[in-house]
């Protein structure tokens, strides 16, 4: 019988290029432990993820319609995870929804598309994610969706994402 150790893998965006920016699915930002890629965008053309000096990964949605959206995924470069913790800040001038999906090898885990947040405001967040079905995952996707018409800027800043690994990859 083999034992499996749970190891943390923390992406704090220090290894990402400061000023690096992605706005389309063909673009990629790469750090020590993860890769960030846009998977969906609709709205004004300036929607993007940018690596800030703090460091952090800041997603901005420039919405004008009732259902504009912008989504990106963070994929582990090695291994899979049993859970993840997101720490950051949101700034929503009006009602907004953030959905999160979990994937393994590019395939969405069934029953794991959930609302992470719905509302408005300017506040810090600290959210833990564990799949309901107990399966491993290697990608967390986050999608911001507007719910009210009018030109506004929404931001979702991720300071760290910490994955709990369930395999024998080095930390």
Q: Which domain CATH number covers 66?
A: 2.60.120.430
Q: Is residue 103 part of a domain?
A: yes
Task: Give 87-104 pLDDT, tens digit per residue.
Answer: 999 999 988 999 999 999
Alpha carbon distance 130, 163 (integer Å): 10
Q: Does 74 map to a domain?
A: yes
Residue 42 placed within a domain: yes
pLDDT in tens, 17-34: 999 999 998 899 999 999
Domain-located, residue 159: yes
Distance CA 166, CA 168 (A): 7
Confidence of residue 144 (pLDDT cuts 50, 70, 90): very high
The least confident of 38-42, 89-93, 103-107, 147-151 is 147-151
53-8-106-157 Cα dihedral, nearest 10 degrees:
-30
Domain that holds residue 27: 6-166
Provide the domain count of the chain. Answer: 1
């Amino acid at each position: 019988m083999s034992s499996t150790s749970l190891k943390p893998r923390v992406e704090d965006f220090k290894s990402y290029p400061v000023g690096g920016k992605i706005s389309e699915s063909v673009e990629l930002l790469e750090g020590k432990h993860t890769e960030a890629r846009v998977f969906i965008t609709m709205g004004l053309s300036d929607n993007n993820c940018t690596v800030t000096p703090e460091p952090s990964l800041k997603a901005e949605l420039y919405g004008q319609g009732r259902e504009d959206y912008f989504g990106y995924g963070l994929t582990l470069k090695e291994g899979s995870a049993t859970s993840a913790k997101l720490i950051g800040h949101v700034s929503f001038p009006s009602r907004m929804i953030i959905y999160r999906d979990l994937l393994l090898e590019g395939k969405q885990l069934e029953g794991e598309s959930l609302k992470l947040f719905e509302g408005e405001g300017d506040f810090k967040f600290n959210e833990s994610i564990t799949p309901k079905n107990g399966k491993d995952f290697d990608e967390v996707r986050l999608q911001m969706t507007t719910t009210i018409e009018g030109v506004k800027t929404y931001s979702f800043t991720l300071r760290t994402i910490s994955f709990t690994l369930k395999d024998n990859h080095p930390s």
